[in-house]
Amino acid sequence: AEDTGVRVELAEEDDGQKSSIAMRLCVEDAKKLKGKPKDNGAIEFSFDLHKDHPEDVAQEMIDSGFFQECDSKTVAKSIRDRVALIKWRRERTQQANE
């Protein structure tokens, strides 16, 4: 994935079954963001792979004051990339099982 300065990773092991999964977002390089993030903490949240959209979660983080509006695309992209990877891995596991 492209280096956005924001890293999103799984906060729990993916059992490949549940739709809602815990994820963790960390700012790795604040210089890559246009605005100043609130702090350098890790933000843990749950993401529903079937219902949630990365753009909405990014906007919620901005509403909550973690990031500035100008970084919404960067945050959304970081989440989207990770979600795509999780989905891809699940598909591959499913194919292997069949």
Partner 1 sequence: GSAMQVVHSAGRRFIVSPVPESRLQEP
Q: Are 55 and 83 in contact (CB under 8 A)?
A: no
Interface residue with partner 1, options 1, 3, 19, 42 (CB under 8 A): 42
Contact between 57 and partner 1 by CB under 8 A: the answer reads yes
**How far is Cα of residue 12 from the mean position of the Cα atoms in its chain?**
13
Interface residue with partner 1, options 33, 61, 75, 76 (CB under 8 A): 61
Contact between 44 and partner 1 by CB under 8 A: the answer reads yes
| Residue-by-residue DSSP string for 18-39 | -SEEEEEEEES-GGGSSSPPS-
Q: Which residues bind partner 1 (CB under 8 A)?
A: 26, 39-46, 56-57, 60-61, 63-64, 66
